[in-house]
Structure 1
Amino acid sequence: MARAIMVQGTMSNAGKSFLVAGLCRIFKQDGYRVAPFKSQNMALNSYITSEGLEMGRAQVMQAEAAGVEPSVRMNPILLKPTNDTGSQVIVNGRPIGNMDASAYYPFKKRLIAPILEAYQSLAAENDIIVLEGAGSPAEINLKQDDIVNMGMAKLAKAPVLLVGDIDRGGVFASLYGTMALLDPAERERVKAMVINKFRGDVELLKPGLCMLEERTHVPFAGVIPYMRIELDDEDSLSEQLHQKKQGNLIDLAVVRCPKVSNFTDFNPLARMPGVSVRYVESVREFGSPDLVLLPGTKNVMGDLQWMRENGLESCIVTYAKQGNPVLGICGGYQMLGKRISDPFGVEGGGEIEGMALLPVSTVYEKEKVRTRVKGSVLPVNGVLEGLSGTPFEGYEIHMGRTEREAGTRPFVAMAEQGKEEKEDGAVYGNVYGTYAHGFFDGKAAPALIRSLLRRKGLDADMLPEIDQQAFKETQYNLLADTLRESLDMRMIYQILKQGV
């Protein structure tokens, strides 16, 4: 069985996901078979595996860093929030229903068996498993029946690295407070502490490190500098979602709905030179973009109502009717249609009028569509005609079926694994929609930007080609190099060897 090490944090967004990814890359570089594992993930950015199973994108990113195919075993439990108190519960890649918090917490005990089965299966195939916790292990109101922090560490017999984020302040208090709130047996599992996102001179930090080591009797494994690494980030606190900067050659506005999901769809566009990707939440922030993008959302009807109430819907409709391009993916595609119906109560039931920018209607069904797809853009006119014929690969994750009105042109032709090609999406004027997540991961991103450059009378050939996978590899290696320089890897290997 594999040796295990677990990364826990003093809070959400402390950098656990990236630290796990970096350790996976280091262990891979050092010749080990390694896999990431997070027993329970709460995220709206998800991914469909080759088997048609759904998992969190953070573990996909970590699997890429480890150089292995993503497997749902790396994230057996996925919670996708539908509102402030409830989530869709996905077990081993398949949804089992929606639960509010009061129903889910007693239900968690039943998930220990599938979690252990997934973990043990991975451990039998690898030399090292790098586990990730969630939030903080010191949430004393949630510690009973914990399955993702110290509870999981106990199940996996994993020593723990405790990570604190200094960028948001109070890192010594958060590390000390977390240790103080742990039970004695849990404190024994914490073998080292790490400070993340540090800016400045480490020498000025050392007196504080020494004092905290004396008080907790736990050594520091290192101080990681603030890194500008461009990798997929699934956290709702992601810095990407706060990007408001304008001024590049091409300005793209993504509507940031309250339940936005799979915003990583637009990361390839943000990596293009001369392109700004802004996330807008109000009419005041809308500006004069070259393209509006409507992302997926876990609550399409609720988020459409939110747009209706804050004026963004009216703003986008006016923008589109002036001949400007709008593109929707998944839930964003559904919003652009005439009507959304929910006869089975998938999102609470009822019906809502859409934005009526595409002549399509959507009906929610009981079964979720989860599949990998491969296809190409059909011949299209308008602003984005440069996308015509562009190949892509991606995946579908949605509850609804969308029908085009007679005479409405589809946007793409794509095939599920082992099935015949089908037409998907819709085009009407300069409004486009598709269910394909990952649409921009290949050649579609540069094709889109070249189309927008031509519209502005700019030289489209000035745009260099970017190999997205090669770019990711450079980022994983940069992450690993930074961690090697910042962490005491000899200590970490010793922790792995000794266990708990």
Structure 2
Amino acid sequence: MLQGTASNVGKSIIAAGLCRIFYQDGYRTAPFKPQNMALNSYITDEGLEMGRAQVFQAEAAGIKPEARMNPILLKPCGNHTSQVIVNGKVIAQMHSSEYHTYKDTLIDVLRNTFEGLEKSYDIIVMEGAGSCAEINLKEKDISNMGMADIADSPVILVSDIDRGGVFASIVGTLMLLEEHERARVKGVIINKFRGKKEYFESGVRMLEDIIKIPVLGVIPYSDIKIEDEDSVTTRFKRTSEKRDINIEVIRTPHMSNFTDFDIFETQPDVSLKYIDYGENIGNPDILIIPGSKSTVSDLKYIRENGFDEDIKRCAESGKLVIGICGGYQMLGRKLIDKKHVESELDEVDGLGLLDTVTEFDSEKRTVQTERNISDCLSGYFESLSGKKVKGYEIHMGRTYPCSDSEIPMFQESSGKESSDGERDRKVSMGYVNSTGNIAGTYIHGIFDEVEFTRALLNGIRMRKGLEPIESEVKSFRQFKEREYDRLADMLRENMDIGKIYEIMGL
């Protein structure tokens, strides 16, 4: 089990790398995170919801993601409440105090889920959450040492040197652990190192003299492109030079599934920028309103910060405006919430850029989807007819057209998904306006199909008088496979993998 001295020290990435190494070495390996708090989630083949970190770890291990790899998923809703998802299904929305009590019932869930997973695989690579030394939360800990006790697992402690204070964080964490917990810690990894490691060797020796635990590796800061787990990522602060095509994404407080846009970072002619609080929307070629766990709240945020006027300005100037899931709902005329799923309001005005209305329901739709782009679209989508897209849906609302002015984005006869009955056949998973510059869809991962995305980008290039280009990345999945191999190579070079096998008794 990998546990951390803090959040965002790199546990998820190192876990993925170990999954890849064990897979390369012939072991059937699975990831496991007992409790994950994240707005980035994924829908399995069975229609079950799980955190995306365990998805890319499963990919690295060469297996399909299963919800039991992340049995407890908490999706923050604001005001100290979270949607609680257990083994892939929504249980309830709980206040933090209510959930603290509910944890008692989850211990058996974790034990049973872990034991079932353990019977199916040779190695389980577990990941803790945040810091393992939160002494005020230790009584009902199920994320770190509490889970290590259930699994009777050795622990490797991960710390981030880039943020400073690495020696104090490691020593302090170990001091705050109880004696039987410290006995579980068999090694330490120092992550995100910049500089020449030979200058750091004396520091490693001094640290080992103090903690009496071996340092198993000093991992360099790298440019390996693996998904970030959640919004603690530093990606939102990255600045990239302006390129031929500029894409801006509005970073709302409850933004979900920002991994939808990872593909753009593989395209050499694209710069991707997240617009945060206090910043201004510029003059992007594509403006994206992302998914949201709290659509009504994020729509209010957009209005309070004046982003709504910027969105309309981009739309009126003919720029491409795309809404994904919650962003799709915001683009319509009305958001109706008579069951008060999203807020205490029965009805909220949308941005009015699509002639649609969304009705929220208490039942969440979770399904994988495969579609083909409609052949009757204009504007930016005119050259995309028949292009295949696939991904998954996670939403509490259903979106309906108010008139025939909006055109379904997808051919309705195509797709691999479960049916929600007669009513849903009247609902498209996306709409495009008549001029083809405003579009919304419920499909997360829609841009992962390189052929579709590159055709969309080349259409923008041609509008700007630029020649189309081909993507060096022909398949996003193959690109990720290469990155997992790069990650494994980097860990093998900088970690004592033999010692890790020894710690596991292999």
Q: State how far apart, in whole Å, the 1-side matches of 2:396 and 2:416 are.
A: 16
1:497 is matched with which residue: 474, 486, 505?
505
What's 1:433 paired with?
A: 440
1:134 is matched with which residue: 129, 133, 145?
129
Q: State how far apart, in whole Å, the 2-side matches of 1:102 and 1:154 are.
A: 24
**1:174-216 per-position Cα deviation (integer Å, ceiling 9, x unaligned):** 1111001000010000000010000111122122222221221
What's 2:415 paired with?
A: 415
What's 2:360 paired with?
A: 364
Q: State how far apart, in whole Å, the 1-side matches of 2:415 and 2:372 are.
A: 10
What's 2:398 paired with?
A: 401
1:353 is matched with which residue: 336, 349, 356?
349
Contact 1:376 1:392 (8 Å CA) reproduced? yes
> 1:92-241, aligned counterparts within 5 Å?
92-241=87-236
Distance 1:461 1:218, change over 3 A: closer
**1:392-423 per-position Cα deviation (integer Å, ceiling 9, x unaligned):** 11110000111111202111235343559873
2:478 is matched with which residue: 470, 473, 495?
470
| Unpaired stretches in structure 1, ≥5 consecutive residues | 1-5
Q: Which amino acid aligns with 1:426?
A: Y
Q: State how far apart, in whole Å, the 2-side matches of 1:11 and 1:213 are.
A: 20
Q: Which amino acid aligns with 2:130?
A: G
TM-score, normalised via structure 2 length: 0.95
Q: State how far apart, in whole Å, the 2-side matches of 1:331 and 1:344 are.
A: 17
Contact 1:412 1:434 (8 Å CA) reproduced? no
What's 2:374 paired with?
A: 378
Q: State how far apart, in whole Å, the 2-side matches of 1:216 and 1:386 are.
A: 62
Compute the displacement of 1:451 (Å). Answer: 1.5
Q: State how far apart, in whole Å, the 2-side matches of 1:66 and 1:465 are.
A: 22
**1:257-284 per-position Cα deviation (integer Å, ceiling 9, x unaligned):** 0111001011112211111111012574
Q: State how far apart, in whole Å, the 2-side matches of 1:142 and 1:347 are.
A: 29
> 1:289-300, aligned counterparts within 5 Å?
289-300=284-295
1:275 aligns with 2:283: no
Compute the displacement of 1:71 (Å). Answer: 0.3
TM-score, normalised via structure 1 length: 0.96
Q: State how far apart, in whole Å, the 1-side matches of 2:403 and 2:415 are.
A: 22
- Which is worse superposed, 243-252 or 313-322? 243-252
Equivalent residue of 1:82, what SS?
A: strand
Contact 1:446 1:465 (8 Å CA) reproduced? no
* Root mean square deviation, CA, Å: 1.5
Compute the displacement of 1:84 (Å). Answer: 4.6
Q: State how far apart, in whole Å, the 1-side matches of 2:396 and 2:418 are.
A: 21
Equivalent residue of 1:144, what SS?
A: helix
Compute the displacement of 1:362 (Å). Answer: 0.7
1:61 aligns with 2:66: no
1:251 aligns with 2:259: no
Q: Which amino acid aligns with 1:455?
A: R
Equivalent residue of 2:308, what SS?
A: helix
Q: State how far apart, in whole Å, the 1-side matches of 2:293 and 2:315 are.
A: 24
| Unpaired stretches in structure 2, ≥5 consecutive residues | none
Q: Which amino acid aligns with 1:497?
A: G
What's 2:386 paired with?
A: 389
Distance 1:245 1:465, change over 3 A: closer
Equivalent residue of 2:93, what SS?
A: strand
Compute the displacement of 1:465 (Å). Answer: 5.2
- Which is worse superposed, 150-159 or 224-233? 224-233
Q: State how far apart, in whole Å, the 2-side matches of 1:283 and 1:158 are.
A: 46
Equivalent residue of 1:134, what SS?
A: strand
Q: State how far apart, in whole Å, the 2-side matches of 1:444 and 1:39 are.
A: 36
**1:47-89 per-position Cα deviation (integer Å, ceiling 9, x unaligned):** 0000000000000000000000100010010000111511100
Q: 4+ residue stretches of structure 1 with deviation over 4 A? A: 418-422, 462-465
Q: Which amino acid aligns with 2:358?
A: T
Number of positions where the alignment pairs a residue of Structure 1 with one of Structure 2 = 493
What's 2:494 paired with?
A: 486
Compute the displacement of 1:462 (Å). Answer: 4.9
1:318 aligns with 2:318: no
Q: State how far apart, in whole Å, the 1-side matches of 2:361 and 2:197 are.
A: 55
